[in-house]
Chain A
Amino acid sequence: MRSVQALAVAALLLLPAYEGAAAAEPKQGGILRMYHRDSPGSASIHEGATYSVNIPFMPVFNNLVMFKQDVAQNSVDSIVPDLAESWAWSGDGKKLTFKLKQGVKWHDGKPFTSADVKCTFDMLMGKSQQKFRQNPRKSWYDQVNDVTVNGDFEASFELKRPQPALLSLLASGYTPVYPCHVSPAEMRTKPVGTGPFKFVEFKANESIKLTKNPDYFKKGLPHLDGIEFTIITNRSTAILGFVSGKFDMTFPTEVSIPLLKEVKAQAPNAVCVVEPNNVSTNIIVNSSAPPFDNLDIRRALALALDRKAFVAIMFEGQADVGGTMQPAPAGLWSMPKEMLETIPGYGPDINANREEARKLMQRAGYGPDKRLAVKISTRNIPIYRDPAVILIDQIKSIYIDGELDVVDTAQWFPKVARKDYSLGLNLTGNAVDDPDQSLYENYACGSERNYTNYCNKEIEKLFDQQSVEKDVAKRKKLVWEIDKKLQEDVARPIIFHSRSGSCWQPYVKGITIMVNSSYNGYRYEDVWMDK
């Protein structure tokens, strides 16, 4: 079984994705027309936490390093230089030094230097005078002591302790280098980068336009003359636009499985793919108040889940069951299937699981004559609401009567932060398929995104242990152990990991949909159109 998984992973790593990359010499020119699912709040990637910002603005920037754009699975092995020429770790693993490319210019003509790297990361670490309005990934740099420069073309990250995963975090689409001489406010409205495309305009609710950067430091790139995003919030209109040929591509990873069938029926020549996206749907349990302060009830809840039913109903079978880390073969860190099935609630016999759950409920004082009434809070968005409804149906079998409590988007996180909920249905997207990003963010004591306030110092020691571990095989085993323990503790029961569809016209070449992140594959410098 493991060898099959290994082969699948190898195939993902080695094969350039889809037929486009294997095609003939790229043609130059053309505007790639795409619809955008909504109007992003700003153009500043560092201040955003949604791929609504990454997708249109990642082509404006460069990182120090990035995940190779034509490899579907992000991993340390697929990291390539971007603004950096090369990088090297110190012997003790506490210093990461980048040699930077020379002659790179910002879109406004000013030269790029190591000072820009320092500025960017000082701002991300909250050390500089200039501040971001919001800084959602500050915790990514918790282990960075300082960023130092040596001349104009060398920058080093000095760490408090070894953290091999830092390189992956720096390769994310969420980690572009910003110019020192442009304020965060300007970056929100008129971003200046070094990337393959220059920002032209962003009309809220209307369009985003990018044009080719003729002075791009990667010779011969980009192939396109520009990219235009038309903002269409109505999904039906957007899909009809794609089918009618008004758009060359759908918004990536935004086409649902049922909708994908419609697209294929109406535009049979379109290239459509369904890929995992490293987004999990999970239950947040308020364990600080009754009734879920009772471990028996939390365990009963975990045992009641029929994950395959969720997958069948919502994704016509095309989604994955796993723990916290994204399931294989797309995910790099998931525990083996046989280990997963030993976790309560993951076993194949749903009836036996539920029988056990009912016993736990009875031990807690509930039964057919005394049912537990709870509200299932979730955001008023279909991808949240639909699984919440299925959850309500499933927990009926263990004497829990759930009532749907839909919460306005503006109120969701304040409500969660106030612990004003019993059970919540939540989605967690991971920008980088690495335990350092996922574990600290969602399960570390005191983390802002640890909505349930789960805090286990013993497990946190394991977080640190895996984080410093250089040996990938050893690190994986530690991560499996952590993931298993998190599921057994019902820290945040994972229901499923979703998949989503993307389509493009057959003449669009060089598109690669990343399979273990929805945030890192939108540089578009090597995309071209065969027409």
Chain B
Amino acid sequence: MFAYIVRRLVLMLVTLIGISIIIFVLLRVVPGNIVDILFDAAGFVDPTDKANLEKELGLNLPIYQQYLNWIGGLLRGDLGYSYVSEKPALDEILPRIPITARLAALALLFSASIGIPLGVISAVHQGSRLDYALRIVSLSGLSLPSFWLGLLILMASVSLFGAMPIYNPNPQTWTEAFAIYAVPAMAVGFRSAALTMRITRSSMLEILRQDYIRTARAKGASEASVNYRHALKNAILPVITVIGIEAAFLIGGLIVTETVFNIPGVARFLVEALRWRDYPIVQNLVMLIAVVVVVANFTVDMLYAAIDPRIRYTD
């Protein structure tokens, strides 16, 4: 087990180095840089001013040197300066992380707390009206783009309550504080909840046909005990895998949700930084997201062993 963990950690490191090279090169392959964008606003490009600015920002250096400078800085905890705001990249990124983390955690919580129980109910009541209704809900969750759902929620809020739950850094009441996170989390988590529900349902259906479930019933175990203690425990592994993958994919949904609900989180910031070709911000944010994804995958793998004692990682 120990050797397995060490091997996974080394693999994680190699993955992150690979990602760092890919993102660094890709950013520079995309036509145009921050200087082009700045001059775009001015309506023309002055070649001398452009060269001066590229020199000031270090964009005139060979690409390998730029890469080494970045990695060297990263190892020293220096993430560089945002080209746009001219503030340390760390100061720009750090305050935004808790906002997105809170939103992502709430979205995952929503996804699991809604998706798993509804999946179980749907499986237990297979073929019933309730099952059909829940399947329609899950299909709509998979079909509705989160930006559209977000806009619908905002429009409904304005029409029904005359107010809208867009971000406010200093909420006046706890209901406002709840709304500014919970509503967007529901919008982004709806799709994940639908997917979780479908996976839970199909996994449960398979498990509920197993002999040991019949045995548990024959022994007089209650339906709740059969469904949740015996069946769900064994049906949960694929669900955890899906939630792990969803956690990684969540950033895509968060980009649109943060934009629609005007939440100043990491995801929207990444898009804006890309628009400006703000390399220090984009590189460091992508690395941060990569670390989160790699660690999430690792954690999910470790959870398998914790949940199912039959799983043992060997060399």
Partner of B262, one of A134, A204, A237, A266: A237
Does B5 count as interface, using CB distance less than 8 angstroms? Answer: no
Q: Which of A383-415 contact B (CB under 8 A)?
A: 408-414
Query: What distance in Å separates the Cβ of B45 from its nearest Cβ neighbour in chain A?
Result: 5
Partner of A237, one of B82, B85, B260, B269: B260
Bound Cα distance from A460 to B44, whole angstroms: 21
B158 and A134 contact, CB distance less than 8 A: no
Does B294 count as interface, using CB distance less than 8 angstroms? Answer: no
Bound Cα distance from A246 to B179, whole angstroms: 15
> Which residue of the partner chain B has the closest CB to A52?
B41
Does B279 count as interface, using CB distance less than 8 angstroms? Answer: no
Knowing A236-B151, A237-B261, A408-B32, the reply to whether A204 touches B44 (Cβ < 8 A) is no
Partner of A49, one of B31, B41, B162, B164: B41
Q: Which residues of B contact A133 (CB under 8 A)?
A: 38, 49, 53, 56
Knowing A204-B272, A205-B268, A240-B154, the reply to whether A413 touches B43 (Cβ < 8 A) is yes
> Which residue of the partner chain B has the closest CB to A426?
B43
Sort chain A's interface into a size bin: 35 or more
> Which residue of the partner chain A has the closest CB to B87?
A189
> Which residue of the partner chain A has the closest CB to B278?
A204
Sort chain B's interface into a size bin: 35 or more
Bound Cα distance from A39 to B37, whole angstroms: 13
Q: Which residues of B contact A232 (CB under 8 A)?
A: 166, 262
Partner of A410, one of B84, B164, B277: B277
A49 and B33 contact, CB distance less than 8 A: no
Bound Cα distance from A236 to B169, whole angstroms: 21
A185 and B39 contact, CB distance less than 8 A: no
Contact with B along A18-44 (1 / 0, CB 8 A): 000000000000000000000101100
Bound Cα distance from A412 to B36, whole angstroms: 9
Query: What distance in Å separates the Cβ of A285 from its nearest Cβ neighbour in chain B?
Result: 18
Bound Cα distance from A185 to B31, whole angstroms: 27
Q: Which residues of A contact B36 (CB under 8 A)?
A: 410-411, 413-414
Partner of A234, one of B31, B42, B52, B259: B259
Q: Which residues of B contact A50 (CB under 8 A)?
A: 41
Contact with B along A39-73 (1 / 0, CB 8 A): 10110000011100000000000000000000000
> Which residue of the partner chain A has the closest CB to B31?
A411
B259 and A233 contact, CB distance less than 8 A: yes
Q: Which residues of B contact A409 (CB under 8 A)?
A: 32, 37, 40, 275
Bound Cα distance from A188 to B264, whole angstroms: 21
Knowing A188-B86, A408-B32, the reply to whether A246 touches B166 (Cβ < 8 A) is yes
Q: Which residues of B contact A188 (CB under 8 A)?
A: 86
B277 and A136 contact, CB distance less than 8 A: no
Bound Cα distance from A39 to B33, whole angstroms: 18
Q: Which of B150-179 contact A (CB under 8 A)?
A: 151, 154-155, 157-158, 162-164, 166, 169
A410 and B163 contact, CB distance less than 8 A: no
> Which residue of the partner chain B has the closest CB to A137?
B42
B92 and A204 contact, CB distance less than 8 A: yes
Q: Which of A440-499 contact B (CB under 8 A)?
A: 448-449
Does B276 count as interface, using CB distance less than 8 angstroms? Answer: yes
Contact with B along A220-260 (1 / 0, CB 8 A): 00000000001111101100110111100000000000000
Query: What distance in Å separates the Cβ of A243 from its nearest Cβ neighbour in chain B?
Result: 6
A204 and B85 contact, CB distance less than 8 A: yes
Query: What distance in Å separates the Cβ of A429 from its nearest Cβ neighbour in chain B?
Result: 9
Does B211 count as interface, using CB distance less than 8 angstroms? Answer: no
Does A363 count as interface, using CB distance less than 8 angstroms? Answer: no
Does A148 count as interface, using CB distance less than 8 angstroms? Answer: no
> Which residue of the partner chain A has the closest CB to B82?
A204
> Which residue of the partner chain B has the closest CB to A202?
B85
Does A417 count as interface, using CB distance less than 8 angstroms? Answer: yes
Bound Cα distance from A185 to B84, whole angstroms: 11
With a 10 A CB-CB cut-off, give which of B33, B85, B261 has the most chain A CB atoms.
B85
Q: Which residues of A contact B31 (CB under 8 A)?
A: 408, 410-411
A413 and B40 contact, CB distance less than 8 A: yes
> Which residue of the partner chain A has the closest CB to B147?
A234
B40 and A189 contact, CB distance less than 8 A: no
A244 and B43 contact, CB distance less than 8 A: no
Query: What distance in Å separates the Cβ of B244 from its nearest Cβ neighbour in chain A?
Result: 29
Contact sample, A vs B, 18 pairs, CB 8 Å cutoff: A48-B41, A49-B42, A133-B56, A136-B42, A203-B264, A204-B82, A205-B269, A205-B272, A234-B260, A240-B155, A241-B166, A241-B262, A408-B31, A409-B37, A410-B31, A410-B37, A410-B40, A448-B44
